[in-house]
Amino acid sequence: MSRREPFEVLGQAVAPGRTQRFELPVSRLPSGAEIGVPLVVVHGRERGPTVWLSSAVHGDEVNGVEVIRRVLARVTARELRGTLLAVPILNVYGFAEGSRYLPDRRDLNRSFPGSPRGSLAARLAHLFVEQVLDRSDVGIDLHTGGTHRCNVPQVRVAFDDERALALAHVFGAPVLVPSSLRDGSLRATAAKRGKPCLLFEGGEANRFDREAIEVAEGGVLRVLRELGMIAGEDVPEADLRPFLARSSRWVRAGRAGLFHLDVAPGSAVRKDAPLGRIEDAFGGRSLAVRSPCDGLVVGSATNPVVYRGDAIVHVAEG
């Protein structure tokens, strides 16, 4: 076999069989400090696909950072076939502040593909597309639920994208949710460029969720094994057949009060089955919250204090 070419980043060459960390320069803080996005390149000794792993596109979604740390601890450039591009903290600004957004409140995941002369979010998106996405064959973007919302580990994928759907099955999260492509999202940009991209969601913003982290760690390793990049004999098999959702909807609070969830996240529920109740602060005026359909509870609000109309339980319809 002919020798593999080095992988070049910002004019620096990573030799086959080497792992190297970079800081992709984005901009300076107003105080003058240079801000960079960390990128780890694991350039396998042998040829194979290039896969990117990204997380903290929303800066407060930290589970993916831990998932990528664990995956990098298990993958060595000596044994890898292909190249792994890991970007654990894409939204470095939001991450530093514990915020979902950029300092100007823009959502990075609505700013792709970005541009080199746009807003900070657009520049950050463009940097990622140019340095990582365009150089990859497949991507996995790791998210969590938003603030005060906890998601059962799930993969969101366009069901008409056959290659992405096949990899979503290999990933082996407990739930697969069909999800159309949103303009400006990383996943939509990947799809337009013909790169299958899985979006994982699990747990809650600003928290480590051990179960979600373990599901995603196993899922990423199973995808790398499927693509022939790692041998992966010690990677656990996904032990469940995923629940294939047809659609999903949020149940909203019928009145203000304190919400008590009475079913475990991940439980199967029947239409009209009680999911919980909303009461006043003294346990009075109890209002039952019922499932709108047969399905699976895939997410819930974690702050019990609710107003009428707040989204409180997320049910995927099977």
Give contact residues for Zn ion (rule: CB under 5 A). Answer: 58, 61, 143
Indicate the residue among 110 and 225 with the shorter CB distance to Zn ion. Answer: 110
Nearest distance from residue 151's CB to Zn ion, in Å? Answer: 10
Peptide bond into 113 cis (omega under 30): yes
Which residues fall within 8 angstroms of residue 97, CB to CB, at 6 or more apart?
A: 59, 103
Which residues fall within 8 angstroms of residue 235, CB to CB, at 6 or more apart?
A: 218, 221, 222, 225
Q: Is 171 exposed, middle or buried (0-12, 13-18, 19+ CB in 10 A)?
A: buried
Indicate the residue among 82 and 146 with the shorter CB distance to Zn ion. Answer: 146
Nearest distance from residue 179's CB to Zn ion, in Å? Answer: 12
Indicate the residue among 4 and 58 with the shorter CB distance to Zn ion. Answer: 58
Nearest distance from residue 143's CB to Zn ion, in Å? Answer: 3
The conformation of residue 182, written as its DSSP 8-state character, comes to P
Nearest distance from residue 60's CB to Zn ion, in Å? Answer: 9
- Residues 202 and 64: their CA atoms lie apart, in Å, by 9
- Looking at the DSSP bridge assignments, the partners of residue 315 are 249, 297
Residue facing Zn ion at closest CB distance: 143
Indicate the residue among 61 and 217 with the shorter CB distance to Zn ion. Answer: 61
DSSP 229-288: S---TTSPPP-SPPEE-SEEEEEEPSSSEEEEE-S-TT-EE-TT-EEEEEE-TTS-S-EE
Nearest distance from residue 58's CB to Zn ion, in Å? Answer: 4
DSSP 53-91: EEE-SSTT--HHHHHHHHHHHH--TTT-EEEEEEES-S-
Residue with tokens 């010690």: 234
Indicate the residue among 4 and 143 with the shorter CB distance to Zn ion. Answer: 143
Nearest distance from residue 272's CB to Zn ion, in Å? Answer: 32
Which residues fall within 8 angstroms of residue 16, CB to CB, at 6 or more apart?
A: 3, 4, 5, 6, 43, 44, 45, 46, 77
Nearest distance from residue 238's CB to Zn ion, in Å? Answer: 23
Indicate the residue among 60 and 161 with the shorter CB distance to Zn ion. Answer: 60
- Structure tokens, 268: 């199967």
Indicate the residue among 63 and 83 with the shorter CB distance to Zn ion. Answer: 63
Indicate the residue among 129 and 269 with the shorter CB distance to Zn ion. Answer: 129
The conformation of residue 47, written as its DSSP 8-state character, comes to E
Nearest distance from residue 284's CB to Zn ion, in Å? Answer: 37
